[in-house]
A and B are shown apart, each in its own frame.
Chain A
Amino acid sequence: MQYKSQAVAKPYFVAALALFVAQILFGLIMGLQYVVGDFLFPAIPFNVARMVHTNALIVWLLLGFMGAAYYLIPEEAETELHSPRLAIVMFWIFLVAAGLTVLGYLFVPYSSLAQMTGNSILPTMGREFLEQPTIVKLGIVVVALAFLFNITMTVLKGRKTAINTVLLVGLWGLAILFLFSFVNPHNIVRDKFYWWWVVHLWVEGVWELILGSILAFVLIKVTGVDREVIEKWLYVIITLTLVTGILGTGHHYYWIGTPEHWQLIGSVFSALEPIPFFAMTLFAFNMVNRRRREHPNQAATLWALGTGVMAFLGAGVWGFLHTLAPVNYYTHGTQITAAHGHMAFYGAYVMANLTMISYAWPQLMGRIANSNQSQVVEMWGFWLMTISIVFITLFLTAAGILQVWLQRISDSPLPFMVAQDQVALFYWLREIAGVIFLVGLMVYLWSFFIKGEPKAAAT
């Protein structure tokens, strides 16, 4: 750690990991509800568990991004953060708001929560991933603006690099696109159309800029490759991302009432979306192969390489699997979508955050890298979680293929619930893989508490 103010990243990372645990616990509840339908009913109905699962994910990824920005920006800009105090105040506001929202989901019926928070004044609730009460959404905007102000001022007074510029563009894009969460027309087609401007243009657009920038930063640090080379790669990757990803939004406009030419536009451009992810994999491996130093933090290098591979598999390959309109006609809204969602989020955004935390945490604790013992345990966590998510994805894919066959393709299509009963075996297997994921997460967290002689540079 070169700048004192980088330390504000610490609480962000801690809170992010705590919410990660909550996300996984509620994921396991939902997974069990798939096969034991009355588990925790009516205390925690499936929809409530799902809100906690997905919202905890989104919030912890955002906390992770903010922590990453607070760590990365002073170092890139070569100056102290504009206001460390603002960063800490915003942290507590964001955390308390997120905590209250989760408690609201768990302990108040959703319709009462809507009433208590005045959803009627500006109805924005009850849409997938955007379930937060309107007032919480407004709070998110305030926190985001304060955060952006803080880091933008820092970059303005310091050195401007490709890495911090791309990060700023990504984060500003994230905040601006979130404003579409307030757009909720009565017309369900237009509602859905603009809902995707938040959801798709986040995860298949501006978030990839944040991901690319974090990856580039860590790769510079752990490989010692020239900044010039890495920054050029970064621009190429994010160009490919937005050139394919913006019109790739069209793959959500096949069956929601939008005109049919979107089937062609969406198919063509979203079929190209794996390319930037493939470039990211090449980038990570290339830079590590051309490394000019042996950085003692090998766990961070492993996470960086893992991000490239798993993002390509989850977002790229599993996305391509069902993105062409004639295929999507059968797979739309099935377990195939769920399979893709799990591996894509883990491979791209969970792993990018864990890459950054893996690199930054030892530095924040005043050492270049963790002890060898600690890194070995962290790598066990890496493999357990990564292999589990591969199996979760494979089991959901199997469930999805069967579901499509029984419910959509068969000459005598089965009703939804009858088809669900037929694929229950794969839901059980997915749940077992999920338990192993939780074990992996525990092992990973345990690595933070392992002391030992810090690893020294191997030069």
Chain B
Amino acid sequence: MSEAFTTSTARNIFYGGTMFFLLLFLALTYQTEQVLPQRDKRELLADPKVVAGKKIWEENNCIGCHTLLGEGAYFAPELGNVVARLGGKEAVKAFIQSRPKEGVPGRRSMPQFNFTDQQLEEIASFLEYVGQINTAKWPPNIQG
């Protein structure tokens, strides 16, 4: 690189450029926070079952096998639209409940978590809430 372009010029461009894009990112974040209420169905969080369901989701590490809105592990099906795919909350609950304790020979199988009826209702309510978020029409089809 040429003599005119010194290390201190390069350093100043680094700090200036980073600062500029960092501030722009923060401004975009602010704008996102402003419009999110129209898309993220936060009114559904008024239901304590949804909030409790998220905690169950986290404390059983569901993301360790599944994706949720495409993020997570790729070992088991997408769950952002699972309520729609299985045809309702009751079907989701029945599926979770039906998992054999010792698995299925040779196949992947979800563990049996021994949830109570209330916990099942909460986790299903959480998944139903996620399913209503405006995700710009993702996933491409019901299979997730």
Identify the A interface with B (CB < 8 A).
Answer: 30, 33-34, 36-38, 41-42, 45-48, 50-51, 110-111, 114-115, 119-120, 123, 125-128, 131, 162, 184, 186-190, 192-193, 228-229, 231-233, 235-236, 238-239, 242-243, 246-247, 249-250, 252-260, 262-263, 265, 329-330, 332-335, 337-338, 407-409, 413-417, 419-420
Interface string of B52-85 (1 = CB under 8 A from A): 0011011111111101111111111110000000
Query: Contacts of A238 on B, CB cut-off 8 Å?
Result: 14
Query: Contacts of B21 on A, CB cut-off 8 Å?
Result: 242-243, 246-247
Query: Contacts of B7 on A, CB cut-off 8 Å?
Result: 162, 228, 231-232, 235
B6 at the interface (CB under 8 A from A): yes
Please determine whether B73 and A50 come into contact, CB atoms closer than 8 angstroms: yes
Please determine whether B10 and A249 come into contact, CB atoms closer than 8 angstroms: no
Interface string of B13-43 (1 = CB under 8 A from A): 1100110011011001101110110011010
Please determine whether B76 and A416 come into contact, CB atoms closer than 8 angstroms: yes
For the complex, what is the distance from the CA of A126 to the CA of B60, rounded to whole Å? 7
Please determine whether A255 and B135 come into contact, CB atoms closer than 8 angstroms: yes
B111 at the interface (CB under 8 A from A): yes
For the complex, what is the distance from the CA of A262 to the CA of B39, rounded to whole Å? 14
Query: Which of the residues A30, A47, A255, A257 comes within 8 Å of B40, measured between beta carbons?
Result: A257
- Please tell me the size bucket of the interface on B: 35 or more
Query: Contacts of A128 on B, CB cut-off 8 Å?
Result: 63-64, 71-73
Query: Contacts of B40 on A, CB cut-off 8 Å?
Result: 187-190, 257
Please determine whether A334 and B71 come into contact, CB atoms closer than 8 angstroms: no
Query: Which of the residues B6, B36, B102, B140 comes within 8 Å of A329, measured between beta carbons?
Result: B140
Query: Which of the residues A36, A120, A192 comes within 8 Å of B69, measured between beta carbons?
Result: A192
Please determine whether A232 and B1 come into contact, CB atoms closer than 8 angstroms: yes
Please determine whether A189 and B1 come into contact, CB atoms closer than 8 angstroms: no
Query: Contacts of A34 on B, CB cut-off 8 Å?
Result: 75
Using known A-B contacts A111-B59, A246-B21, A417-B77, determine if residue A47 contacts B54 with beta carbons closer than 8 Å: no
Using known A-B contacts A111-B60, A330-B140, determine if residue A255 contacts B70 with beta carbons closer than 8 Å: yes
Q: How far is the CB of A452 from chain B (nearest CB, A)?
A: 40
Query: Contacts of B58 on A, CB cut-off 8 Å?
Result: 114, 119, 123, 125-127, 184
For the complex, what is the distance from the CA of A418 to the CA of B135, rounded to whole Å? 25
For the complex, what is the distance from the CA of A239 to the CA of B10, rounded to whole Å? 8
Using known A-B contacts A33-B75, A232-B1, determine if residue A259 contacts B69 with beta carbons closer than 8 Å: no
Please determine whether A38 and B105 come into contact, CB atoms closer than 8 angstroms: yes
Please determine whether A257 and B39 come into contact, CB atoms closer than 8 angstroms: yes
Query: Contacts of B45 on A, CB cut-off 8 Å?
Result: 186-187
Using known A-B contacts A37-B109, A51-B61, determine if residue A415 contacts B143 with beta carbons closer than 8 Å: yes
Please determine whether B14 and A125 come into contact, CB atoms closer than 8 angstroms: no
Query: Contacts of A416 on B, CB cut-off 8 Å?
Result: 76-78, 143-144
Please name 19 pairs of A and B residues whose Cβ atoms are closer than 8 Å in the assembled complex, sorted by A.
A36-B106, A37-B107, A38-B103, A38-B104, A47-B64, A48-B61, A125-B61, A188-B129, A236-B1, A239-B13, A239-B14, A243-B18, A246-B24, A247-B21, A257-B36, A329-B138, A337-B74, A416-B77, A417-B77
Interface string of B79-112 (1 = CB under 8 A from A): 0000000000000000000000111111111010
Q: A162-B11, A256-B133, A256-B135 are in contact. List 13 more A-B contacts (CB 8 A).
A: A47-B65, A162-B7, A186-B54, A187-B42, A231-B10, A232-B6, A238-B14, A246-B21, A257-B39, A408-B143, A413-B142, A415-B143, A416-B143
Query: Contacts of B118 on A, CB cut-off 8 Å?
Result: none
For the complex, what is the distance from the CA of A155 to the CA of B130, rounded to whole Å? 48
Question: B70's closest neighbor in chain A, by CB?
Answer: A333
Q: How far is the CB of B120 from chain A (nearest CB, A)?
A: 14
Question: A421's closest neighbor in chain B, by CB?
Answer: B107
Query: Contacts of A193 on B, CB cut-off 8 Å?
Result: 29, 32
Query: Contacts of A115 on B, CB cut-off 8 Å?
Result: 59
For the complex, what is the distance from the CA of A236 to the CA of B35, rounded to whole Å? 36
Query: Contacts of A123 on B, CB cut-off 8 Å?
Result: 55, 58-59
Please determine whether B59 and A333 come into contact, CB atoms closer than 8 angstroms: no
Query: Which of the residues A126, A257, A413 comes within 8 Å of B135, measured between beta carbons?
Result: A257
Please determine whether A47 and B73 come into contact, CB atoms closer than 8 angstroms: yes
For the complex, what is the distance from the CA of A37 to the CA of B76, rounded to whole Å? 11
Query: Which of the residues A246, A333, A413 comes within 8 Å of B74, measured between beta carbons?
Result: A333
For the complex, what is the distance from the CA of A33 to the CA of B62, rounded to whole Å? 17
Q: How far is the CB of B93 from chain A (nearest CB, A)?
A: 18
Question: B31's closest neighbor in chain A, by CB?
Answer: A259
Please determine whether B103 and A259 come into contact, CB atoms closer than 8 angstroms: no
Query: Contacts of B144 on A, CB cut-off 8 Å?
Result: 407, 416
For the complex, what is the distance from the CA of A263 to the CA of B141, rounded to whole Å? 19
Query: Contacts of A249 on B, CB cut-off 8 Å?
Result: 25
Query: Contacts of B54 on A, CB cut-off 8 Å?
Result: 186, 188
Query: Contacts of A265 on B, CB cut-off 8 Å?
Result: 28
Query: Which of the residues A186, A246, A338 comes within 8 Å of B22, measured between beta carbons?
Result: A246
Interface string of B115-130 (1 = CB under 8 A from A): 0000000000000011
Please determine whether A125 and B59 come into contact, CB atoms closer than 8 angstroms: yes
Query: Contacts of B11 on A, CB cut-off 8 Å?
Result: 162, 235
Q: How far is the CB of A348 from chain B (nearest CB, A)?
A: 19
Question: A249's closest neighbor in chain B, by CB?
Answer: B25
